[in-house]
Structure formats: structure tokens, C-alpha cells
Chain A
């Protein structure tokens, strides 16, 4: 069974540009989460989807971040326009029953 897949694995962009990260959860998992780790800090929750609905987006830092999950399958996280402080590793996780989260390998985002 395929795990959680994230694309791209690395992205280097300039300040002010737009970047879109993609996450493909494990098939059948209704719950999808985005987390991120900025340099030297803890991994922090961004938001939680149940199917295509946003269950909790309390961790989204500001309105430059937009997450979608059309059709309840894969999800995208767009940052527009990117700022230097957005650099970090963005993790996606999925879960069937919320008791155990399966994480992807993350997308390393560098904003220059």
C-alpha cells in the first residue's frame, strides 16, 4: 500500500513568488492534515480536512496560505506571495480514524 506522498520534495523560490505543494494521502483516509516545521522550531499544526471540508484551520498563519482538498482526495497548499519566514518543511499526514497519523516525507521550501 502506498504511503502519503508529497510533491515536490524540494522547492526554492524567490520572495513574492507563488508555490503550490501537493499531498496525496493514503487511499481511503478521510482525514488529512498539514503541518510545518520552520528552522529550529517545533512541528506545528496548520489545518485538518475531513474529506473535502476544513475541520480546523486554526494553525494557518495568515491569508497568504490557501489549502484545498477538492473531491476529498489529494490536497494542495498554496503560498501566495511567499515570504522569507515561510521557509521550512511542510508535512502532510493522513489518518483513517485520527488515532494514528501517517506522515509523508515533507516538502522542503526555501524562500530566498
Chain B
């Protein structure tokens, strides 16, 4: 069965601290996609990144970076020098691709990040 676990329910940091959000997934498929979405107070889910199972290169986008490790089934997300605007709920998600990519996502429980000034 497919499952995504975000063990951290809530994290609170002070501005400029680095913070890592953990994501562990389970799947029996060899082809799959991993995602991170951000949900700011306005409510919509904002796409941050998509990674396929064959690409284990870490990715950096500004202050955001992602560490994908198949050996530990993890896809962790780090925010460097956090800012108050980073305060949001962050969701990790999994989508299977074997048989075609359907866009059907399996979400983790979400991690609420609070960045204090």
C-alpha cells in the first residue's frame, strides 16, 4: 500500500533559522513521483516541486532545497534562513506512475511551520 508520513505535526522556528521538514513514503512501485505543496493562510495548495523516482539529484531553488534518498524512502525539504512568509502548512505527496501518470496524489498529514520574527 502507498503511504506518506510526515511525522512532524508542528514546527516553530525563529526567523533566519534553517528548518527541515521530513517526509517518508511507502510504495511498491518502481516508478513514482514525489511532490511538495505549500498551503499558506489563504488556503490554496501551491506547488513547490515534483521529483520522479529515477532522479535522486538534490534540488535547490533559492532558499528551498530537497533531499531525495531512495535508500531511506525519504524526500525531505529544507528552508534556509527562514522568513515569516514561510509560515504555512507543508504537504508531501506521492503519485504512482506505473501504467501512466494519473495525477492521483497520496498526501501526508502535513506539517505546520510557524516562523516567528
User: Which residues of chain A have a CB within 8 Å of any CB of chain B?
Assistant: 3-4, 9, 31, 33, 35, 41-45, 48, 55-56, 89, 91, 93, 95, 98-106
Contacts and interface: CB of A to CB of B under 8 A. Distances in A.
Contact of B44 (A43, A48, A105): A105
B42 interface: yes
Contact of B37 (A3, A41, A103): A103
Interface of B: 4, 33, 37, 42-47, 50, 91, 101-110
Among B102, B103, B104, B107, the one with the most A-chain Cβ atoms within 10 Å of its Cβ is B103
A47 to B, nearest CB: 9
A103 B45 contact: yes
A100 B50 contact: yes
Nearest to B49: A100
